Amino acid sequence: MQTPTERIVARFKDISAIPRCSKKEARVRQWLMQWAQDRHLPARSDRAGNLLIKADASAGYEDAPAIVLQGHLDMVCEKTPDSTHDFSRDPVRVEIDGQWLKARNTTLGADNGIAVALAMALVEDGAVAHPELELLFTVDEESGLNGAKKLTSDFFDGRILLNLDSETEGEFTIGCAGGQDSHISLKLDFSPLPENQHIATLRVAGLRGGHSGIDINKHRANANVLLARTLDRLTRDFSLRILSIHGGTAHNAIARDATARIACPVAEFGAVQRRLSRIERTLQDEHSRVEPQLTVSLGADEKKEDTDRSFAPETTEACLKMLVAMPNGPMAMSSEMANLVETSVNLATVRTTAATVDILTSQRSSVASRLTEISTRVEALATLAGARVSHQNSYPPWQPDAESALLQRCRALYPRLFGADPKVTAIHAGLECAIIGDLCPGMQMISFGPTIENPHSPDERLQIPSIGRVWDFLTALLASYKNQ
């Protein structure tokens, strides 16, 4: 007979077989609705695609309050540069590596597929006693909590919410940062490319990347930052021309790779290569402990397209100065919780189109006024460079309630199960609790989950033993509500 952990892992593998990048959750939603129909469980979705599945209370729990188990259906779709994985059709290949689950050259999607697997296993296990359950699965969380933003307060009935989207077992999260993205667009002016130019691709690669909230204080390098710094140095000393810049993949991921298509006089190319080798050594020395695989290289022109123009000198100067000056990383630490980042910026993506350089930054803060302040700072800098700025995907912070009855229940139960006190914390990342709590004043909420390392990167992995501990706690917590 399978253990609860084995059943949960099996369900997680089922989920991982279904492509489910953000905004493309239809297949996994349909699969879950069929799962609910097969078990005669009421299920419905709203216009945004959020899904609600209900399970009746066990005998003796009819008078207990309904409990909402909440997670999101989508995942961040990242892969290594050499991976041929197609997230639109290929299943994520889940592998066991000792005590960890991981994926082959892609994100694992434990953020947040493990929440779905836990909820499914809970309903399927007839031996687990529980109050009425509402399984609330949102969509498009990773793009900015967008599914949660479209929820209505009458979509679900429960006013006790267990969010299963935290990533360190033994921690209860009771607060999170708010966030806002800034879209920056700099109009490109071009100038003719001189004759006798060598065109090449400048690449910053090999970085660890990671989640732009929970990993922002781990001193991981940002490829967009390093590329801008390298280009700025080279254009000061050589007749370097920029044809395009690209870097990063998502607003909530620290950029792991970035490239620029460049041109320089054939006579200067050797000197550029030598200077670049010195720049690479400098950056490797700076980041040796955290980024041992960092490389800065100049290779063959990847596009191999004929071109007769490059960024005009004024555009090059405006673009590089803006990128070099752009805030990135932690901006302030919390004065209330030790080692918690209060405010940060992620220089997330850079893209060159036919007419513009488009930059995306992501700001976070647990203080609403400081979120406004840092977003205003980003806007001011971009405006000084002559760019246009718009702000999107705003969501509020989730303010901690250290006195909530739900937290007190959890704090009393955990040591009885495991012989140690849990850690109560807030995180520097967005959780849907912020949106749901704003929608439903008075909602009691807590977030917990099994241990996940390196989410939002191909190094993501899920600790298998922690799944069992979360199962034990979750089932005991539900059992504690018997006819209350």
92: DSSP letter: P
pLDDT (0 to 100) of residue 243: 96
Cα(89)–Cα(218) distance, rounded to whole angstroms? Answer: 33
Domain boundary among 355, 377, 395: 395
Examine residue 222 and say whether the peptide bond preceding it is cis (omega within 30 degrees of 0). no
Query: In terms of domains, do 307 and 337 share one?
Result: yes
Full residue range of the structural domain in which residue 437 is found: 4-177+397-479
Half-sphere exposure (Cβ direction) of 366: Cα atoms closer than 13 Å = 23
Closest among 31, 124, 176 to 471, alpha carbons compared: 124
Cα(446)–Cα(409) distance, rounded to whole angstroms? Answer: 11
Instruction: Copy the structure tokens of residue 73.
Output: 């259906």
Strands (E), 273-319: 295-300, 309-311
What's the total number of domains in the chain?
2
Number of helices (H), then strands (E), belonging to the chain: the values are: 11, 23
Does a structural domain hold residue 484?
Answer: no
Half-sphere exposure (Cβ direction) of 20: Cα atoms closer than 13 Å = 33
**DSSP alpha helix (H) spans, 57-215:** 110-124, 146-149
Question: Residue 447 burial (CB < 10 Å; 0-12/13-18/19+)?
Answer: buried
Query: In terms of domains, do 274 and 135 share one?
Result: no
Cα(53)–Cα(267) distance, rounded to whole angstroms? Answer: 67
Task: Provide the pairing of β-strand 341-352 with 329-333.
Answer: antiparallel
Query: In terms of domains, do 383 and 290 share one?
Result: yes
Cα(148)–Cα(395) distance, rounded to whole angstroms? Answer: 10
Query: In terms of domains, do 146 and 245 share one?
Result: no
Query: In terms of domains, do 202 and 286 share one?
Result: yes
Strand order in the sheet with 171-176: 43-45, 51-55, 133-138, 67-72, 160-163, 444-447, 171-176, 423-427
Cα(111)–Cα(74) distance, rounded to whole angstroms? Answer: 8
Domain boundary among 334, 360, 395: 395
Instruction: Copy the structure tokens of residue 50.
Output: 């959020």
Q: Which residues are catalytic?
A: 74, 141
Does a structural domain hold residue 431?
Answer: yes
Query: In terms of domains, do 81 and 36 share one?
Result: yes
Query: In terms of domains, do 280 and 349 share one?
Result: yes
pLDDT (0 to 100) of residue 306: 65
Task: Provide the pairing of β-strand 258-265 with 295-300.
Answer: unpaired
Cα(431)–Cα(217) distance, rounded to whole angstroms? Answer: 18
Does a structural domain hold residue 49?
Answer: yes
Query: In terms of domains, do 153 and 208 share one?
Result: no
Write phi, then psi, for 217 (nearest 5 degrees). -100, 15
Provide the residue-wise pLDDT of the chain in tens; the chain has 484 residues.
Answer: 899 999 999 999 999 999 999 999 999 999 999 999 999 999 999 999 999 999 999 999 999 999 999 999 999 999 998 999 999 999 999 999 999 999 999 999 999 999 999 999 999 999 999 999 999 999 999 988 999 999 999 999 999 999 999 999 999 999 999 999 999 999 999 999 999 999 999 999 999 999 999 899 999 999 999 999 999 999 999 999 999 999 999 999 999 999 999 999 999 999 999 999 999 999 999 999 999 999 999 998 877 666 789 999 999 999 999 999 999 999 999 988 888 999 999 999 999 999 999 999 999 999 999 999 999 999 999 999 999 999 998 999 998 898 999 999 999 999 999 999 999 999 998 999 999 999 999 999 999 999 999 998 899 999 999 999 999 999 999 999 997 7
SS3 381: helix
**Side chain identity, residue 191:** S
* pTM passes above 0.85: no
C-beta atoms surrounding 268 within 10 Å: 16
Domain boundary among 342, 370, 395: 395
| Token pair 């599945």: residue | 53
Query: In terms of domains, do 387 and 446 share one?
Result: no
Listing DSSP states for 110-144 in one string gives: HHHHHHHHHHHHHHH-TT---S-EEEEEES--TTT
Listing DSSP states for 4-45 in one string gives: HHHHHHHHHHHHHTS--BTT--HHHHHHHHHHHHHTT--EEE
pLDDT (0 to 100) of residue 412: 97
Does a structural domain hold residue 141?
Answer: yes
Closest among 101, 73, 75, 72 to 9, alpha carbons compared: 101
Query: In terms of domains, do 113 and 123 share one?
Result: yes
Does a structural domain hold residue 166?
Answer: yes
Question: Which CATH number goes with the domain that contains 166?
Answer: 3.40.630.10
Strands (E), 301-407: 309-311, 329-333, 341-352, 356-365, 388-395
Residue pair 221/291 in contact (Cβ under 8 Å)? The answer is yes
Query: In terms of domains, do 262 and 290 share one?
Result: yes
- For 214-253, b/e burial (b = at least 16 CB within 10 A) is bbbeeebbbbbbbbbbbbbbbbeebebbbbbbbbbbbbbb
Residue pair 350/260 in contact (Cβ under 8 Å)? The answer is no
Question: Which CATH number goes with the domain that contains 185?
Answer: 3.30.70.360
Residue pair 122/128 in contact (Cβ under 8 Å)? The answer is yes
**Side chain identity, residue 442:** G
Cα(229)–Cα(225) distance, rounded to whole angstroms? Answer: 6
Query: In terms of domains, do 128 and 195 share one?
Result: no
